[in-house]
Chains A and B, each alone.
Chain A
């Protein structure tokens, strides 16, 4: 009798499972499983915060759970190795940033963002130059002139060498004709900012999202921005272009899919994320973090990544810190 019951149970289970297995894919459209967004940020890092802000609107729109998976380590290399082996069914995606294009050149790791399929570019975090609130420099030109007059006394700083900050500084020095590249690299944004506030360095590269509170309180002033046009949110910050330095640098964040993911699924996902980006909560997060909408279609994003991979490879080559052949 007991054995019979067990058999019955098994039968029921098999039937139920069978129904799901034989149901044609067209009935339950994509996405039909929880969506996981892998990020190489630790909890609280840029990519992680983007993921968690997308989580609610995206799961509402897609009708599926959205899970954030943190895979920090190896400057993104660990997450990329992991993402390369994910099932390419459109449910498993990787949140990426420009650093995943640059760092592989410097560290010589195998994979870069350009090895994945572009899905959507979400946001832009522009690069700015900043000084202490009481500094006499009003724009990048002032700071450059001061540096030329006193090369040893005025120091430009930012994140570690090989980061976008350092590349931008290199390009700016080249454009301005400053011979010695004595950029001061810091390991974390906090250390660099303390050094600026303490007057140990005079000009700092960074992103406005990191310094919004210090700018608001007047401790720090933005003096130039590396975007092609002035930003609506920062109308008084002149671009580097206006001052005669033809240099651009924007840190972007987006989502890519593992190689082999079908194009139609990438397109569907692109539309879902695009809709989620219009959610009022998400828009509010973008605004208060001084970020801007950086939407690109899968194709545009993919081309952008290929192009930037090449372009940044060349800059890093010139700087003499290239590792990858």
Chain B
């Protein structure tokens, strides 16, 4: 093990590898910070260039992109409430209110340090626990995925700022949008309307960016006076050690959570950040602060989505199976070089495996450096006059959407969903809940139907299997508690009114 790690160090500490990693870090940072470019897109754009690199160098560069993009996506989420990826969705709930209170620097630094610690814990555990972690991943069959997705979806009931009912309706709408496209279980095309782009359904990124980013630009454009300067105090103060120390226990267990969920193929950073957020809220001493600018609300998801990267390496290394879209690109890079990822990699190419481990650590430090250097300029940047800022973001969104598939259809999709998001916002429906429904709906539906095929149409399968049972009970609690609170408050106000 130590010998192999030394081998990994030798592989990673060379001018070429370090150079590639710096490039990867910078590109990942920029890509992640642009709304509409996800870590996997940033990596896919670079993939053809890795052709001429040695396989381990290519892998290290991709790892560096992956790591820094999973931090930098929180920048637009916090500063302009426009998350470019679904993994940063919940970061907006508390990050943006913090920025509005003039604590943007604190929010960004909590996200950075949380991600840093999460990544360090994740990487360390990854190195010693690949095999046990891979067993956990295998225990997740269709019923467990169903239960996990349901659990994620129940977060909806705590999303309704003004009305729980409207949040539920919003998420149902998201589920409905997600039904468009070829149904993988029956082979039927649903709501295709003869449009060839719709055969695979709406592109997730386009829907997400439309509902969350484009709609936000519309809202802010409506409210912006011509050439107004940013009012309110601009503070670039970072989080203090005293403040951060209080978050450390939370950060420790959300890193574990992220690592485990990241290790499940198909779950990934989005579900990791969602579950981390809702669990942080459940166990918090100040759950009422969530959604209004809670430090915990930023730390939990941002830690989990970084440690989910380490998790995603588990199926990649143990079975050669992609655990996320980004991991799929890493596998593709290895395949392009004739290296087949999987369990034999440990024996045949230890320099690649251990090089990757070391590279993940180095990339984590690069992410930290880049984050620290950029927080202040970024906060200054978003205080330019609104019309200019919004115009620039809109242009970036268009570029990002076009780049994703080189298709204008995605640009149109993002615009259309931007309008839908704007209207939802106007009438107090929740675009965030809609995105949640869109992302998790298909997972709920398909793993439910798949479970039934496996169980010969018996619903008992969901409660007979322990992991699925526990997750479903947790989901029920998550869903019901805010509802009870909502109705209790509702009754109380009614009583006060009548009295």
A residues adjacent to B (C-beta < 8 A): 42-45, 48-49, 52, 68-75, 77-78, 80-81, 106-110, 152, 155, 160-162, 166, 182-191, 193-195, 197-201, 212-214, 216-217, 219, 284-285, 288-289, 319, 321, 323
Contact = CB atoms under 8 A, between A and B. Distances in A.
Contact of A190 (B187, B266, B407, B450): B266
What are the nearest 8 A-B pairs in CB distance? A44-B332, A213-B342, A200-B141, A160-B184, A198-B138, A162-B187, A77-B196, A74-B199
B344 A191 contact: no
9 contacts: A73-B405, A107-B199, A110-B196, A160-B187, A161-B185, A189-B321, A198-B139, A200-B454, A319-B187
B407 A214 contact: no
Contacts of B44: 42-44
Contacts of B192: 107-108
B230 interface: no
Contact of A216 (B198, B328, B344): B344
A195 B141 contact: yes
B85 to A, nearest CB: 17
A217 B344 contact: yes
A213 B198 CA distance: 35
Contacts of A44: 44, 47, 328-329, 331-333, 335-336
Given A155-B453, A194-B138, A200-B141, A52 B185 contact: no
A98 B304 CA distance: 41
Interface residues of B, number: 56
B466 to A, nearest CB: 14
Given A52-B336, A72-B405, A107-B182, A190 B142 contact: no
Nearest to B185: A185
B450 A185 contact: yes
B182 A200 contact: no
Given A77-B196, A162-B187, A217-B343, A191 B266 contact: yes
B453 A182 contact: yes
B199 A75 contact: yes
A44 B140 CA distance: 26
Interface string B311-347: 0000100011111000011011101101011111100
Given A160-B182, A193-B319, A321-B188, A70 B406 contact: yes
B184 A187 contact: yes
Contacts of B138: 194, 197-199
B200 A75 contact: yes
A198 B141 contact: yes
Nearest to B47: A43
Contacts of B297: none
Contacts of B142: 195, 200
Interface in B276-331: 315, 319-323, 328-329, 331
B377 interface: no
A68 B329 CA distance: 17
B229 interface: no
Nearest to B328: A44
A101 B137 CA distance: 35
B340 A212 contact: yes
